[in-house]
Chains A and B, each alone.
Chain A
Amino acid sequence: MSGTEAVEQAYRLLQSEAKQKVEAGREKPVILLGTATCGRAAGALAVLAAFQEEIDKHHLDVVLTETGCMGHCYAEPLAVILKPGYPPLVYGSLDEGKARRLVNDYLVSDDPCYEFAMAALEPNDVFPTFADYPRGIYEHKIILADCGLIDPGEIGHYLARDGYSGLAKVLTTEPDLVIAEIKESKLRGRGGAGFPTGVKWETCKNVPGIPKYAICNADEGDPGAFMDRALLESNPHQVLEGLTIAAYAVGAEQAYIYVRAEYPLAIKRLRTALEQSQGWGLLGRDILGSGFNLEIKLFQGSGAFVCGEETALIASIHGRAGLPNHRPPFPATSGLHGRPTLINNVKTLSYVPHIIRNGASWFRSIGTPNSPGTAVFALAGKVVSTGLAEVPMGTTLRNLVYDVGNGIKNERKFKAVQIGGPSGGCLPESSLDLPIDFDSLQQAGAMMGSGGMVVLDEDDCMVEIARFFVDFTQKESCGKCTFCRLGTKQMLDILAEITRGQGKDEDIDLLQELAEDIKLGSLCGLGKTAPNPVLTTIRYFRPEYEAHIREGRCPALMCKDLISYRIIPEMCSKLCNVCIGSCPVEAIYTRPDMLKGIDPDKCVKCNSCVSACPPQYKAVVKLSPPVVEEVVAEAVEEGMSEVEQGSGADH
């Protein structure tokens, strides 16, 4: 077929042009600096300026490129330096000083500053690679593979790495065969529920009528998940290619990317990517000469968690408040403007080009039989190496927390891991050997959700974390279903009372009862999963609830109303005033005997004194249940009267 050949040739031309451009840059040293939002927060822009200034000062011929996020958030700002004759090295925890030294010592002279280096990207004789660390052994990067290594603002970088080759292949194939391939791969939607992607595509394709729409759901609203943002900021073309393939398969000529307005950098980089792919003939009319047309529009979501739900998202594009609707009809049959609409998550679409390129059986060889492929997690909380990790499905939680995340911070004890954000649950130590996939997590009471993973240690109160998530879902509930609107409010009130020590014995049963009702009585995923954090914490940490209710005690010393602060006289240095200086409300005073006291009426329990007290004394302790009344109150009175007497004697 000449059409097939024409498309292939058009693609080959584009790719060789891109490769030439990239190869031409290879002879010079290259600095790739991660300037995604996480890098910027850690000071990447100052490092960028320092690099530039130093390069200019020495009149060096160096390419300084801004890239996305490599996933090693704990070591931001992070740069990769490629110098001909040396292995590509990754440098972490940079600051302006280190940036200047790297230019002076490595680029001007020939000392690669191994003391700042984290790892090499390619095997070599001098420095270990990421694969030599436990994290590297467990990680298997597919959709994060190019993140941080390519310039998201330069389509040539993506093309040179075989980008858009999946699209070129698809455009010469019948849509039905494309859908068959995706079905064959058993790819499941990465937005949380894990619905088979191929089935969704097939449904949408088989509904008669045009126009059809394809939507990329980039409304990442889960507090604690940021992988969609990282993907859009680091490798936007991967998402665009996936979306274009999806649109071709279902027969849509109009597509939207629904992206949160809170992600300004992602929006900016997406805009650039859209312009470039249009300019290179990979988007717009007659893509690669195949006759297929596609227009992609950006729609900025305005910050509503519920809009991650398909029907609410569509309502939002219609210009209305994001209230979900009854399903069926599913958007695949009747969605945007009542037309068949395909909605896939950023991560799901990012896998598509790889599956087309490498085949369904390759994809199925990774992960577990029912959940093939990899899972991307945003590791946060009390874990040493926070950041984004991509591991094969079926990896155990223990491997994730202890090998990829390098264990718990400050040598504290592991307590739980919260997976799936507000829709997920807290899993205890006994679940650590659970292989993670869609089904196993659901059985344990949690959910894959968006992939947020917060590690909690012994200082974290499980009742409080349940209250935190219910507070979130209650605020984000759109208010359409009574059980979700009022039920979450009731749950929140009960949980708040328990954290204040005003809980009643029957509260735990009542919470469980409410949880079941909310699950049954809600229309969309938000309500159906909102009780999960409460149910799992009761299931695995019931004694903590009981301690709050029966003893007025918070075992983790976190709930403010159930703790008091005390300075132990025997441990206080007397001559050190650090705690007084640290107190933002002047609640700490010096008694006549030079010991320090805390005025319970003024104390706001901000923990400043605990962190301020020098480690050799450790004199400030938290007590639960609070023992303020007798001990400290007396001391205050005594102290005050003595102070008055003392000052009186001075006169």
Chain B
Amino acid sequence: MRYLPHTEADRRAMLQAIGVPSVDALFRDVPEAVRLKQPVDLPTTKSEIEVERALMSFAQRNLGTGSAPSFLGAGAYRHHVPAAVDHLIQRGEFLTSYTPYQPEVSQGTLQYLFEFQTQVALLTGMEVANASMYDGASSTAEAVMMANRVTKRDRAVISGGLHPHYREVVATHARHLGFALDFAPPDPEGKEDLASRIDDKTSCVVVQNPGFFGQVRDLSALAEAAHAKGALLVVVVTEIVSLGAVTAPGDMGADIVAAEGQSIGNPLGFGGPYVGLFATREKFLRQMPGRLCGQTVDADGQRGFVLTLSTREQHIRREKATSNICTNSGLCALAFTIHLTLLGEDGYTRLAALNHAKAVQLAERIEKEAGLAVVSDSFFNEFTVRLKKKNAAEVVEKLAAQKILGGVPVSRLYPKEAGLADLLLLAATETTTEEDMTALIGALREVA
């Protein structure tokens, strides 16, 4: 077996040094009745050639977004990742290192985390950011639980424009930890009035911007309304490229930003692993979940970095920790920070402008050439379309039969809401071509 270095002679020599006759003797604490005498009933060892063949046979049964016009979004976006990103994250010193608990031999990881935290703080307009969470949905749940701790209240108001998976994840935590949620209904038109739901028991208002249905909103008034009642504003961002074109949540009064960072540096990968971003105001620092990297000096007085403020975390505080999170998304955070470093201010804002322009082109053509109504009165790179046919899911299946990945039917995420069945989410990014749009519109004219 190519990954196991011992020869039989090595094993014999080691057993002799230990003073046992066979490896079975080392398993003597395992009760006799449960010791497996034979390998389990699974295939035996395979060469690289055979394993590659097996994995490729899985891959070949899928229609990848790289092989078809794709307009899929709803919280995961296809973007071009520069070649340098994937090259750098595969350096073994990054790929095969552990959490940087030994800072003297982990300065590479620690410095990029410090830079990552700074980048996330800058994008979101917040003061501090952590070293990443699992994904946007779990970040959002952590944000609500943090707001509960900060305000010592236990009821959160959840926008109808929050991604349904995020709503479900927050609800799951609420059910098990025991706090209350006030869900506004799904809001395709972007007309909800969240301010009227806030009272002096509200810990936070959670709103996604751009919203699940596409709308881009100025949240300043909502922030004021929340703060007037002593509640926090949690802003969720599922398309992080948007912040190159949209006002930063921090500049609109957000107290916590929970975001999905997949769009920068990370492939779609069928939904994971992604990278949760988490940023807040400095005054809430001690209530933050997750790992934090901080600057310090070494014994020679040189600048260096360490994991810090770990008295918030489970390995120190155990049942009193701010979260049970341990492993986060280090490698995805690395991909994020490398891609963003390559983009820089100029590249990032131009990328955002390009995404928006592609989406506007698509929306205009949908309206003019396909004769369909765009429901979203504003949007960044994704918007909601109302189809003439009542069942958007069926339309999407028909498009798929023509090898067009024609967006996400809202019913996939809101199966119980009959009134949303004719809504289709369409996204465009810098990877979308005019030919892709022409193919989609031609097909939509036939089937939608």
A binds B: no
A: residues with CB less than 8 A from B are none
B: residues with CB less than 8 A from A are none
